[in-house]
Structure 1
Amino acid sequence: MFTKEEVKEFIIKYGKKWLFPDFYNKVTWYVVTLGAGIILTPTPFKLVVYNWIIESFNLNAGTAITLSEMGSSTADYWLGFSLIISALLHNVFSKWLRHQNDIQDRVKAEKVSEVDEALFKEFLEIFPSGSRSAYLLETHDFGNSFNLDSLRDIDKFVDEWNCPEKSFINPELESIRKELWNKCHEFSWLIAKKSAPTSGGFQSVVPDRVRGNLDWPEWVDNDVKAVNEMASEVFLLHQGFIKSMREALKC
């Protein structure tokens, strides 16, 4: 069943198409042209054509028919108008079918958007721009120690967002989510590999045994640089993901 809004929209939109058809459909164009031709063609010329058709039929079928048996010429006008009206009806009906397809596509797109919007809101609850993890990624120099609890948001995202239930239906958004998850997973692995607890209860990429030295070993500098660079990459991807989601979902 159709809603009142759908019926009203169809009447207004395609009522105009009935009065002013665009003839985009070849069938409509051919049938209207044929009907108009039957109406506008002079009667003498039509008689010539009819006689030729009758003579051809008699010659091939062996059955003699005459022009009077074809009926009066006034029937031509009814035939012409009937063809034009049927063409216009076909034109409107085909547009109605396209209209219904457009409605279905719009409803489907709205449902997809609602699912993705709900999932995005869930993401913002665990890893928003104002989270401790986002702040750590943006501002911290990993040449200094840090609180391991600051990584909780990233760890939660890595642990819980690699399953079908956390996948976006929009393929472009899902591609960005996968990219962010992969980079967060890589960052978590790098932190686990390159850092260790300190004597003060924090976590540090720089070992306690060299922390007080004026010059760190080259491998320590390389580790700090690698972690800092990846932290910046994760933060930029995180911000880009949120921006893309807001633009796509208009939220």
Structure 2
Amino acid sequence: MNIDKIIEIIKLFKPSFYNKITWTIVIAGLALLGTPLFEKILNAILEKEYSITITDDKDSLIGVLLVVIALIYSLITSYFEKYLLHKQASLEKKSIIEKDNILFNKFLKELPSNGSIEFLKTHSFGDSFQLEELRQIMDFQCEWNNAEYEFINEDLEIIRKELYENISKFIYKNSMGSYSQRNGWFSTIPDNCQGEWDLPKQVIEKIEEMNDLANKVVESHQELVRLGRRILNISNLNNQNNISKEKYIKKDKELFEKFLLCLPTEGTIEFIRHNDFYNMFRDSKIEPLHKIVRFWNSAEYKFLNENIEIYKLNLIEKIKLFLEEISDKTFYINDEFEFRQLNKKYNSYEQNMNNAKVLNNLADDVYKAHQEFIIECNKELNK
């Protein structure tokens, strides 16, 4: 039996005029509590002439009972109606969240942080690009502009519309200002300016405009992902039972397992822990660190547990610093971009030793942050 049917049953015992019924019973009860003068005179006459009375000694007790019954009736009907209405509103809210959750998961599947969004985040439109890289945002523009793809939650819907508008602006500007080359390649730079070092002012402005529009798409996308996770997941934790909390822990456990597949202690972490960066090394040894920075700083890879997320962000920051110094202090020594080493040719021995020391220290920081993150995950996810 659902809540609506229960409320209808309650209304049978609590009609719209139930206050009048309550007051009628109360007045009747109060009337029996007190015996008016004319009733006493009438009782005395009837008892003397016919040995009967119209009231007896139990009238006061009956009066009290009527008053108590009336009050209990009023309290019970009022309480249950309010409780059931509250329960009904709660179920309706839950239903709305579930519907938005389904749509949000569809959004994450069709427009994830990797793919077109990652391309817009990392690509400079001064370079050529393949149109297929924009396929996901073009599909989003075609499909996500009708009522079926609107969030019920107003805050989510505002950001969804903002994202849609930013994508539409970007696609329009791209269609108006990009030039087809060959085999699906496009460029913001016209053919007559290809290969030139000093590009015309209007071309530079066009490139900057495209990069700016791409950044706005990425920002609004990430804002929608963060807001969706917060509204549809984390905000409900305080109102959920242990089973629901286990559900959120399960999500973080799955994300942690995915992280360990990307960056386990064995492999890259062990390498940077023991390697002396004064020596030559393979660039592929640190490639997983680039992937962590590229993907794991997006909203989709955010842990619901705040403590774990703090440790993850700290690790990413340490990795960024390490990679920045690697890029600044080393270079590729072959055309296959396979091996790197310090810029020994242009620096003194002392400078190279100092540079190697900086890299080794930063590598130690990455290792420590990685281990602290794993320890925190094991602690929080196995409580």
* Cα shift at 1:77: 2.8
Matched, 1:235 2:218: yes
Structure 1 counterpart of 2:90, from 106, 125, 129:
106
User: 4+ residue runs of structure 1 moved beyond 3 angstroms?
Assistant: 64-70
* Cα shift at 1:232: 0.7
Q: What is the distance in 2 between the residues matched to 1:141 and 1:110?
A: 43
Matched, 1:165 2:148: yes
Structure 2 counterpart of 1:87, from 63, 71, 79:
71
* Cα shift at 1:192: 0.6
* Cα shift at 1:72: 3.4
- Cα 1:2–1:152 change in 2 (3 A) is closer
Normalised to the residue count of structure 2, the TM-score between the two structures is 0.48
Contact 1:116–1:169 under 8 Å retained in 2: yes
Contact 1:137–1:232 under 8 Å retained in 2: yes
Q: Aligned-pair RMSD on alpha carbons?
A: 3.0
Contact 1:137–1:231 under 8 Å retained in 2: yes
What is the identity, as a one-letter code, of the residue corresponding to 1:196?
Y
Matched, 1:133 2:104: no
Ranges in structure 2 where 5+ consecutive residues have no aligned partner: 7-18, 45-52, 234-247, 249-383
Contact 2:179–2:187 under 8 Å retained in 1: yes
Say how many residue pairs are matched: 206
- For 1:246, the equivalent position in structure 2 comes to 229
What is the identity, as a one-letter code, of the residue corresponding to 2:157?
E
What is the identity, as a one-letter code, of the residue corresponding to 1:142?
F
- Cα 1:2–1:75 change in 2 (3 A) is farther
* Cα shift at 1:106: 2.1
Ranges in structure 1 where 5+ consecutive residues have no aligned partner: 7-26, 56-63
Q: What is the distance in 2 between the residues matched to 1:222 and 1:82?
A: 86
Instruction: Give the 3-state SS of the residue equivalent to 1:162 in structure 2.
Output: coil
What is the identity, as a one-letter code, of the residue corresponding to 2:203?
V
What is the identity, as a one-letter code, of the residue corresponding to 1:77?
L
Determine what percentage of the aligned residue pairs are the same residue: 29
User: RCO greater where, 1 or 2, for CA within 8 Å and sep 6 or more?
Assistant: 1
* Cα shift at 1:201: 5.2
Provide Cα deviations, 1:22-44, integer angstroms capped at 9, x if missing partner: xxxxx7xx97xx79x96xxxx9x
What is the identity, as a one-letter code, of the residue corresponding to 1:225?
E
Provide Cα deviations, 1:62-91, integer angstroms capped at 9, x if missing partner: xx9646566235412321232122212221
- For 1:71, the equivalent position in structure 2 comes to 55
Equivalent runs, 1:9-158 vs 2, <5 Å: 50-51=36-37, 54=38, 66=42, 71-130=55-114, 132-158=115-141
Q: What is the distance in 2 between the residues matched to 1:243 and 1:152?
A: 23
* Cα shift at 1:211: 2.8
Contact 2:129–2:187 under 8 Å retained in 1: yes
Q: What is the distance in 2 between the residues matched to 1:113 and 1:2?
A: 19
Instruction: Give the 3-state SS of the residue equivalent to 1:247 in structure 2.
Output: helix
Structure 2 counterpart of 1:225, from 183, 203, 208:
208
Q: What is the distance in 2 between the residues matched to 1:234 and 1:227?
A: 11
Normalised to the residue count of structure 1, the TM-score between the two structures is 0.71
- For 2:165, the equivalent position in structure 1 comes to 182
* Cα shift at 1:214: 2.3
Contact 1:199–1:208 under 8 Å retained in 2: no
* Cα shift at 1:171: 2.6
Provide Cα deviations, 1:210-241, integer angstroms capped at 9, x if missing partner: 13222211111111111111111110000001
- For 2:321, the equivalent position in structure 1 comes to none
- Cα 1:170–1:2 change in 2 (3 A) is closer
Q: What is the distance in 2 between the residues matched to 1:185 and 1:174?
A: 16
Could you tell which deviates more after superposition, 67-76 or 149-158?
67-76
Contact 2:132–2:184 under 8 Å retained in 1: no
